[in-house]
Amino acid sequence: MRGLSNYRLSCCVNTLLQTFSATWELGDLLDKWETAGVRADGRNIPLHLKRVLMAMRSNHAQPAPHRDFLHSLDRNSFRLLTQHDADEVFLAILNLLQQQMDDKPLALEIQNLYKISMETHLQCLECASVQTLTSYMLSLPLHVKEDHDSLEGCMTSFFGYQELRGINCCFCAKCGQKTPSKKGVKLLSLPHILCVHLKRFRNCGGYTRKLDCRVTFPEIFDFSETVKEAFPSDFAQNDCKYTLHAVVVHSGTATFGHYTAYVCDRVNQRWFYADDSHVEPVSWQDVQSAYGGHGRHTAYMLMYRRGSKEEGQQPELSG
């Protein structure tokens, strides 16, 4: 595993590149992309991402070269010498892959790797009529309580029904006006790579603060057993077990912080901690230190792969 030097406040991007490298399925798909006829445009995110991921897989001891990728992000409005939000940059990179790859079927395969399909139900509490909307996300944004919480608790809250009243009332076509309603979300399909975003930042009185509260997460969990309320009665997908393979960690405050990563090696299934160019082996107990707590570094994004650890070692995607 190769480190990445911090170049003009690049810790956020360095950390995401480590998680992309640990998500070998993404690298395998980019390797299929024929780039011989692609113009070496300084703005081309997929081209520079393919190159840096290939460099990170090499056996050189020194930090992998990634300045061209950083400059390509800068030319796409993610400026160097600026602190960025990891989830925002993650989603932007995936969207730029869709926009800038000339092989659209392959670009769609990359999107489908992370695509969470869901259906939102909105039931009017006055006339009981129901509106539905089908959509998708590339990361699952979970609200974090301000005291002790868990991944399972965050998911239960996300997929539980919520009543919308007062200023949150929604328009009901049958009633012809805004009415109180009940909102719920159900999963239509789960992705091969599940990205979870723990929303630790809150806007309070015009300024942003970070929640350092403890949020536990398992190394392995089964969606169908942990969050049964997330599934409709006709859900057809059988394999809902996920194994953690990367954690994006944030240290510091909302306005002044630093990103690092824990990643699990594909071959020997050992965990490593990457802090820019410094990389060291760690244990699962060390990864658990990212649960958080006052004054500690905290998990901000979790990357889970569908299947067991043994299945994660195979070179082919399942399902």
What distance separates the 2 farthest-apart alpha carbons in the chain?
A: 67
DSSP state of 318: -
Residue 302 lies in a domain: no
> What are the tens digits of pLDDT across the range 242-290?
999 999 999 998 888 999 999 999 989 999 999 999 999 999 999 999 9
pTM, two decimals, is 0.93
**Is 279 inside any structural domain?**
no
Q: Which two tokens stand for residue 67?
A: 């300045």
Give domain status of residue 185, yes or no.
no
Number of domains in the chain: 1
99: which residues sit within 8 A by CB, 6+ positions away?
A: none
The answer to whether residue 310 sits within a structural domain is no
Q: Which two tokens stand for residue 147?
A: 């005291």
pLDDT band at 318 (very low <50, low <70, confident <90, very high): very low
Other C-beta atoms closer than 10 Å to the C-beta of 92 total 17
Residue 108 sits in which domain range? 1-114
Residue 260 resides in a domain: no
Under a CB-based contact definition with an 8 Å cutoff, are residues 182 and 201 in contact? no
300 within a domain of the structure (yes/no):
no
Q: Backbone phi, then psi, for 250, in 5-degree steps? A: -120, 135
The C-alpha atoms of residue 203 and residue 207 are separated, in whole angstroms, by 6
Residue 102 lies in a domain: yes
Give the Å distances, CA to CA, from 34 to 37, 68, 104, 140.
8, 19, 12, 31
Q: Domain of 97: which CATH number?
A: 3.90.70.10
CA 89 centroid distance within chain = 10
pLDDT one-digit tens code per residue, 105-146: 999 999 999 999 999 999 999 999 999 999 999 999 999 988
Within-domain flag for 22: yes
